[in-house]
Amino acid sequence: MNRLIIIVFAIVFYGSSWAAPVMPQPKMAKINERVYALLGPMGQPSAHNQGYMVNSTVIIGEQGVILIDSGSSDEVGSHLLKAIAKLTPKQVTHVINTHHHGDHVLGNSVFQGAEVISSEICREMVNKTGHEWIALMEDLVGHKLPNTRPVPATVTFAGENARAERTIQGVKLLFWIPKGSHTVGDMMVYLPDDKILAGGDILVNRTIPVMRDAMVKNWLGTLEQVQSFDARTIVPGHGPLMKLEDVNRLERQMARFYAGIEAGYKKGLSDSETRKTLDVREWKKLEGFDANIGSNVSRAYLEVEQASF
């Protein structure tokens, strides 16, 4: 009997171990000799992907590494650190956050001793909402994240539509803080010598843009400005690498969406009634459509409504 119990226990234990989800490996895209994109899988944070679904940019400098966006937990941050170690023995000395959403900042705590850089508003939002993001990620991945903590930036840039240049580890960087677009504290990073733009979630590819706390009309203006950059390669917050023509397509899709919301409001339709009038055939093909189209309509409708007062 005891032996039977042991056998059953072994089958249950090892069977469950074999079935346990494994964090997906990043898709490593070499852009040039010193810049790599670590492309996460598409989709929402879940037990299946263990919260790993964001893109990061790795810049190998003279003495150390600059990482743009650190992932949704200490577990994801460690996962990225292992991927970086396959590229270079140099340590991560700087972490840049494009905005405050948890999937982009909660890996910061892994990179102890690194200088963390963001917009000033992003820093404020990490301090304000960081623990809420941890709780949300724990719910989504299905387990506690006891070693994950909010780590706000130690160096920030302020101003609306402001730009600041800085050389880090021998790499020229242009930090651009557009008007609040995807979030109130967005920041994009341009490498002029490499003609590479890291866009955070202002730029997404093959996935629907998320507007839950966005300023949609500002976002359209930001997308127009992005196209003035001499960028050969663009690293979006989610999805495959982009070109400027992809940014133009995203701008056109969002502009049609916003115009449809305005038209519905002017006809006196509610947000739910307006949704039925929208042509969203292109967006239905994108990742995250069902999860986000409702909140996108509500956010844009509220913005149009507020603008009419």
The pLDDT, as a whole number, for residue 216 is 98
Compute the distance between CA of residue 279 and CA of residue 53 in angstroms, rounded to an integer.
Answer: 28
Contacts of 234 (CB under 8 A, 6+ apart): 196, 197, 198, 199, 203, 226, 241, 242, 243, 244, 246, 247
Half-sphere exposure in the Cβ direction for 155 (13 Å, CA): 12
Contact 45, 139 (CB under 8 A): no
The pLDDT, as a whole number, for residue 21 is 79
Contact 151, 116 (CB under 8 A): yes
* Cβ burial 118-143 (10 Å sphere, 16+ → b, else e): bbbbbbbbbeebbeebbebbbebbee
Contact 126, 100 (CB under 8 A): yes
The CATH superfamily holding the domain 16-244 is Ribonuclease Z/Hydroxyacylglutathione hydrolase-like (3.60.15.10)
Name 177's bridge partners. 162
Model confidence, pTM: 0.93
Cα angle for residues 262, 187, 108 (degrees, 5° grid): 125
The pLDDT, as a whole number, for residue 20 is 61
| Domain extent listing, the chain | 16-244
Record the tokens describing residue 12, joined without a space: 């249950």
pLDDT, tens digit (0-9, with 9 covering 90-100), for 167-209: 999 999 999 999 999 999 999 999 999 999 999 999 999 999 9
Compute the distance between CA of residue 24 and CA of residue 40 in angstroms, rounded to an integer.
Answer: 8
pLDDT, tens digit (0-9, with 9 covering 90-100), for 63-83: 999 999 999 999 999 999 999
Name 174's bridge partners. 165, 190
The pLDDT, as a whole number, for residue 152 is 98
The residue ranges of the chain whose pLDDT is under 50 are 1-2, 4-18
